[in-house]
Structure formats: structure tokens, C-alpha cells
Amino acid sequence: MPFRPWTPEPAGDARLLDLLPSATAAATVRRVLEEGLRAEGPVHANRLARLTAWAFGIDRVPAALRESILAVLPESATAVGEFLWPADLHRAGWTGFRRQRWSADRPLEHIAPEEIGNAMVALSRAGAGGTRNDLFHASLAVFGHRRPHPVLFPLLEVALSQALVEDRLTDTPSGLIPAAPR
């Protein structure tokens, strides 16, 4: 499934964000946050806050504003590290991932490790496994990266480690990393 970046509709004047956490302002901001969660969840908290602020005409989001926006997240949202999950998407059983054409659509650090791991599992199944290097290069291509860059490898390692711990991938002595049987 392709990644479709969320572009929020204008939701009001920037001054509304100055009124947070008032009930009226919070309700309006919460509606925008819910739209973002439905559109892009799991989504990095910084990305969701930035796009939400954009709906109110703000391009730059200082830390204090980010915290004010995220303080009114719907109770149904689940935070896992820096990522926010919508209520109807359950981490444990989710096997999806969203391909993207360009890395600029969503930087790798804004993609949940679960999603990267899901891509690795699918790639491993499609190619009957491969080496760590093969898997990393193929995963980067899924998320729009044309060339590997060393700064991206720690993010891939986290996703791979998580998939290995969850027994969705297997690290073999030969160096191949096949997907675990279903």
C-alpha cells in the first residue's frame, strides 16, 4: 500500500493554539489530531504536531507549542515511544507497511520501527530471506531511499532487532535472515 502524506485542511486561526488547553481550543485541535492519526497512524509525534500546527497556519513549531498540541491528544491514541497509534490499529497484529516513492515524503526516522520491521518481513518472504545488508538496502528502497546512508542503519537495526525478538524474522548462522514460518 502506498504512503499518502496527510495534508490537513485549514482548521482555524493560529491564535486558537494560544488558547490551549481551553476546552473549545482543545476540542478543535483534538479533531485535527484525530484526522492526522487516521490518515497517517502510526505517526511520529513531531510530525503529527507539525502538521496539526500547519492546519492553523503555523509553519514552525517550537517545543512548547508541540507539547501544548500533543497534550490534547485523544485518549484513544496510544503512544509507543515517539510514535502515536490510532485506536483501531493494534501494534501486535499489524503487518502493514506503506511504500513511498521519495524519502522526503516521510523521513525514515518518522516511520515506526514496527512498520519498517513489517516491510523487512514481507521482503524476506518475497525473496526467501537475504543477508542483513540485502534486507537493509531493500527496506530503504521501500521507503524511498535511493542510496543507503550510514545514519539510517541504526533505525533499521532497531526494526530488525524488534522483528527478531518477536520471532517474525530469524537470524541464521549462515548470515541469512529468513522470515519465520507463519
Per-residue pLDDT tens digits for 15-48? 999 999 999 999 999 999 999 999 999 999 999 9
* Mean pLDDT on 128-154: 91
User: Do 96 and 81 belong to one domain?
Assistant: no
Tell me what pLDDT residue 128 has.
58
Is there a contact between 39 and 142 (Cβ–Cβ < 8 Å)? Answer: no
* Mean pLDDT on 86-107: 93
What is the number of domains present in the chain?
A: 2
**Is 79 inside a domain boundary?**
yes
Please tell me whether the overall predicted TM-score, pTM, comes out greater than 0.85 for this model.
yes
Kindly provide the b/e burial profile for residues 38-71, where b requires at least 16 CB atoms within 10 angstroms of the residue's own CB: ebbbbbbbebbbbbbbbbbeeeebeeebbebbbe
Does the structure show a pLDDT above 90 at 130?
A: no
Is there a contact between 120 and 163 (Cβ–Cβ < 8 Å)? Answer: yes
**Is 95 inside a domain boundary?**
yes
What whole-number percentage of the chain has pLDDT above 70? 99
SS3 40: helix
Residue with the bigger pLDDT between 124 and 129: it is 124
* Mean pLDDT on 138-158: 95
**Cα(17)–Cα(13) distance, integer angstroms:** 8
Of 59, 85, 111, the domain-final residue: 85
* Mean pLDDT on 143-171: 95
User: Do 101 and 137 belong to one domain?
Assistant: yes
